[in-house]
Structure 1
Amino acid sequence: MSANSAERPARLDVVLVKAGRTKIRYAGELLADDGTRLAVRAAWAGAGVRDFGFVRFEPGDVFTEYYWRDRWYAVKEVRSATGGLKGWYCDVTRPAVRSGAELVVEDLDLDLWRSADGADVRRLDEDEFAANGLAATDPEAARAALAALDELDSLARGDGFTALLA
């Protein structure tokens, strides 16, 4: 994308794959792609409200999503419709693959949440990961996924997100 401020961001379809099937597909705006990291802005693509107990995703929420071609995770900054920062939702994934106007990301079941103030950091879905069979079918990928969750946890508990997303 050129530096021309009048140019509109390119449309990009984000495709989240889980267990070999498309879990969700949604449109976003490609904000940046430096060859390693991609940044995408998208509206909450879920149906209605998703209440996790510690955060609610709802219509009007805006996600600025960061994907890497060389890392096993994605980090999604979540803001309310009024612009207030809710926090960061992180998915452990295989490295992202972009083909034209499509970005494909394979979800590996592990997630992490960091609240806006950093006081609440939660590792999520470790039980799903243990049950998904990846350790048996692809032990190398399972090790990479667990290492990615540990890295995200460390970044979330310090000031690591600032540098990571800068």
Structure 2
Amino acid sequence: MKKNTLLLVIGAVCLAAAAAVYATGASAVQTAREALAALQEDYSKVQALAYTGFVDLDSEAPAALDGVLYFPVEDEQVKSMEDVRALLGRVYTQSKAAEVLDYCTGTTRVLTERDGRLYRADAYEPGWPIGPELEGAKWDGDALTVQVTLEWNEPVPGVVTLRREDGAWKIDSIERAG
């Protein structure tokens, strides 16, 4: 009798553990979906400004700065580098936002400001287009690791790490999987 009771207790503990793991996994996926959906509009704008260049530019008012031809950005919400910093701060953690800003203003030099107005070089990069479907998600301490599809010409697996900062989920890293 004691043996049967012990087996029942062990079985119940195993079932409870399995249910907890399943619930945590489902919760991670749901949290990831909600977080990425909340970031989507601002993330798309970052992709256009920082990478693809799919933003309205004033082609009538170019400015050559340090050998690069720039055009004023015509966007109601993002008019200056201060606006770019605010946008990046809504999408990315502080460290990742600083990295993306440095990439745009230093490495690729696609963004600059002149007389308080935002300018962009007419250049294209594929950026980091996150597909609409999540492949999975898991908690990793205080971070959420999300398996996504990066929708380049040939879709490839990617990994997005989300962290809570200032009360909101933000992207801390994004990279190709593997």
Identify the TM-score tier after normalising by the shorter chain.
under 0.3
From the CA coordinates, give the structure whose radius of gyration is larger.
2
Higher relative contact order (CA 8 A, sep 6+): 2
Q: Which has the higher helix share?
A: 2
Q: Higher strand fraction: Structure 1 or Structure 2?
A: 1
Query: How does the TM-score come out when normalised to structure 2?
Result: 0.25
